[in-house]
Amino acid sequence: MDTFLWVIVPYLCLATFVIGHFWRYRYDKFGWTTRSSQLYEDRLLRLGSPLFHFGMLGVVGGHIIGLLVPQSWTDAVGISHEAYHVVAVTGGLLAGVMAVVGMVILIYRRRTVGPVFSATTVMDKVMYAFLAAVIVLGMWNTIAGSIMTIGGEYNYREGVSVWYRSFLAFNPDASLMADAPLGFQLHAMVAFGIFALWPFTRLVHVFSAPLGYLTRPYIVYRSREDQLGSHSPRRGWERTRV
């Protein structure tokens, strides 16, 4: 059972994530967009969207540090467990509160503003449910688990993080996850659900973060020559250059 939950399911989700994105990019570039609803409503979005997105950037950054940096590294540079804990909880709490407040505003907006609600697809609703669940569970783990230590202290850097790195190294140790508190287990499980859904939702826009804008020239020129018509030529049928 542990192997199924913490080895098979995560790898299935990862495979869906990778292959799904490849497939979506190959066949649905036209559908690859933020599908912004700012045109319909501006006031709530102006508040909620930056809160949510900047909060999420903080949350993702925190997860990268927490999951990918081994405890031995921070010990090696002399950061004590307590100091790390304080910084992580403070930062996590700040980013988490921003994300939660932003999300509440955005979900309220999506439900109450007529045109925005009409433009919401079924996939959007599923995605929102998963996203809300994973954020709430994450906040629960931070507040109830790490601050109030309900159900005993748990150092995720010796449990979940190690499992996650072993998962990424294709040498997963399911027992580490099986021993983790229920809150962490649920959080991880729902998060994998999101990763599996990711390529089929509007979340794909995360991967088009336009960082190239910082370096490219302002005006883009394109010649008809490199691609004629609306399709790239099939292999072997490219135009010859004279």
Partner 1 sequence: MRVMAQMAMVMNLDKCIGCHTCSVTCKQAWTNRTGTEYVWFNNVETRPGQGYPRRYEDQEEWKGGWELNSRGRLKLKAGGRLKKLATIFSNPKLPSINDYYEPWTYDYATLTDAPAQQHTPVARPKSLLTGKNMKIEWSSNWDDDLGGSKATEKYDPMLKKIADKVKFEFEQTFMFYLPRICEHCLNPSCAASCPSGAIYKRAEDGIVLVDQDRCRGWRMCVSGCPYKKVYFNHRTGKAEKCTFCFPRIEVGLPTVCAETCVGRLRYIGLVLYDADRVLEAASVPDDHDLYEAQRSILLDPDDPEVVRAAEAAGIPRDWIDAAQRSPIHALINKYKVALPLHPEYRTMPMVWYIPPLSPVIDVVRDTGEDAEDTGNLFAAIDALRIPVEYLAELFTAGDVAPVDRVLKQLAAMRSYMRDINMGRDPNPEIPAAVGMTEEAMYDMYRLLAIAKYDERYVIPPAHAEQAHSLEELGTECAVSEYGGGQQDLFGEGSGVPTPIAVENFQMLRDRQTSDTLASPNDKSSRVNLLNWDGKGAPPGLFPPRSEGEGQDDGA
Shortest CB 120 distance to partner 1, Å: 12
- Does 241 contact partner 1 by CB under 8 A? no
- C-beta of 34 vs 149, nearer to partner 1: 34
Q: Which residue from 106, 71, 68 is spatially nearest to 85, judged by alpha carbons?
A: 71
Stretch that binds partner 1, among 64-72, 134-142, 172-180, 223-231 (CB under 8 A): 223-231
In this structure, what token pair is assigned to residue 120? 């919401």
DSSP per-residue letters across 100-151:
HHHHHHHHHHHHHSHHHHHT--HHHHHHHHHHHHHHHHHHHIIIIIIIS-TT
Return the closest-CA partner of residue 71 out of 60, 61, 83, 59. Answer: 83
Is residue 170 part of the contact set for partner 1 (CB under 8 A)?
A: no
Nearest-approach distance from CB 62 to partner 1, in angstroms = 19
Q: Which of 12, 18, 19, 28 binds partner 1 (CB under 8 A)?
A: 28
The nearer residue to partner 1, 1 or 216, going by C-beta atoms, is 216
Q: Is 112 exposed, middle or buried (0-12, 13-18, 19+ CB in 10 A)?
A: exposed
Question: Is 235 an interacting residue with respect to partner 1 (CB under 8 A)?
Answer: no
**Short-list 131, 114, 124, CA closest to 190:** 131
Binding segment for partner 1 among 6-14, 78-86, 118-126, 187-195 (CB under 8 A)?
118-126
Q: How far apart are CA 146 and CA 160, in angstroms?
A: 14
Cβ atoms within 10 A of the Cβ of 160, count?
23
- Taking contact as CB under 8 A, which single stretch among the options 1-9, 13-21, 125-133, 215-223 is the one that binds partner 1? 215-223
Residue among 12, 26, 8 nearest 204 (CA): 26
Quick check: 224 binds partner 1 (CB under 8 A)?
A: yes
The residue within the footprint of partner 1, chosen from 213, 235, 236, 241 (CB under 8 A), is: 213
212 binds partner 1 (CB under 8 A): yes
Q: List residues binding partner 1 (CB under 8 A).
A: 27-42, 45-46, 49-50, 52-54, 114-115, 118-119, 121, 205, 208, 210-214, 216, 218-224, 228-231, 234, 239
